[in-house]
Copies of this chain bind each other. A is one copy, B any other.
Amino acid sequence: MLTIADQTFSSRLFTGTGKFSSAKEMESALIASASELVTVALKRVDLKGKDDDILHHLKYPHINLLPNTSGVRNAKQAIFAAQLAREALETNWIKLEIHPDPKYLMPDPIETLKATEELVKLGFVVLPYIHADPVLCKRLEDVGTAAVMPLGSPIGSNKGLRTIDFLEIIISQSRVPVIIDAGIGAPSDAAKAMEIGADAVLVNTAIAIAKDPTNMAIAFKMAVEAGRMAFESKLGAQTHYAAASSPLTVFLDEEF
């Protein structure tokens, strides 16, 4: 079981709600994923209405909503967005995303640390999306972050774990859960993240843009479980010289 702040999770697969071709398809995929933490962009939530489409499709007892601040560009905007989200969704959890860059959506380390510190003081459970920067992770810990969410590769790129050398350092040093957040493009990437010891992964694009999102969600669910189980069962080391699985005998020598 994974624990973040005061919440425990059976599933280590977190998901997002963007890019699905319909809300119906999104609902089907997210249910299939068994994900218990689903991030939703504040903008998608109808802050005034009652029948907001996305929220309507996410009303399941096992699903915890994780509003995100996508679209904000500095700490001040992020804090305001978090407060709006808290009121609208009645949760003090916030996925902090501050990316001033509209092309690659890379996160801002300075504003993210500043906003995390402030939001923690305001009583939020903060999960910041960050570059795979080991020192920033430690600094976020120091100001009370609930977890860290380093990226595997640029958001939406499906490139997988291009930052793996740094993710391994982050995992080895972290006192809070490490959730790999962006770039995971295939179940094998999710499995790999879990194998190196990540606590969870967040997957959105790769599920949403698959030809069959619901089955892809199931594939990710299994891959995350497989990777976690492999981590716990301890993989052997890579070796340089080959070593046969089958005995290397020359048992027929005498006969030829």
Contact = CB atoms under 8 A, between A and B. Distances in A.
A131 to B, nearest CB: 5
Interface string A170-195: 00010000000000011111011001
A165 to B, nearest CB: 5
Interface residues of A, number: 106
Nearest to A255: B80
Contact of A204 (B138, B155, B245, B256): B245
A49 interface: no
A195 B216 CA distance: 11
A247 B206 CA distance: 16
Interface string A192-213: 1001000000001110111111
Given A188-B227, A216-B229, A245 B109 contact: no
Interface stretch (A4-12, A56-64, A69-77, A118-126): A69-77
B236 A226 contact: no
A44 B169 CA distance: 29
Given A105-B242, A222-B223, A246-B39, A236 B187 contact: no
Contacts of A70: 244, 246-249
A71 B112 CA distance: 26
A162 B81 CA distance: 35
Contacts of A42: 251
Given A156-B244, A245-B16, A185 B76 contact: no
Given A135-B109, A187-B195, A248-B70, A215 B232 contact: yes
B219 A80 contact: no
B157 A239 contact: yes
A136 B107 CA distance: 9
A33 to B, nearest CB: 12
A235 interface: yes
A244 B155 contact: yes
A235 B134 contact: no
A106, A206, A230, A238, most chain B CB atoms within 10 A? A230
B108 A139 contact: yes
B110 A139 contact: yes
The 3 closest A-B pairs by CB, nearest first: A70-B246, A156-B243, A18-B245
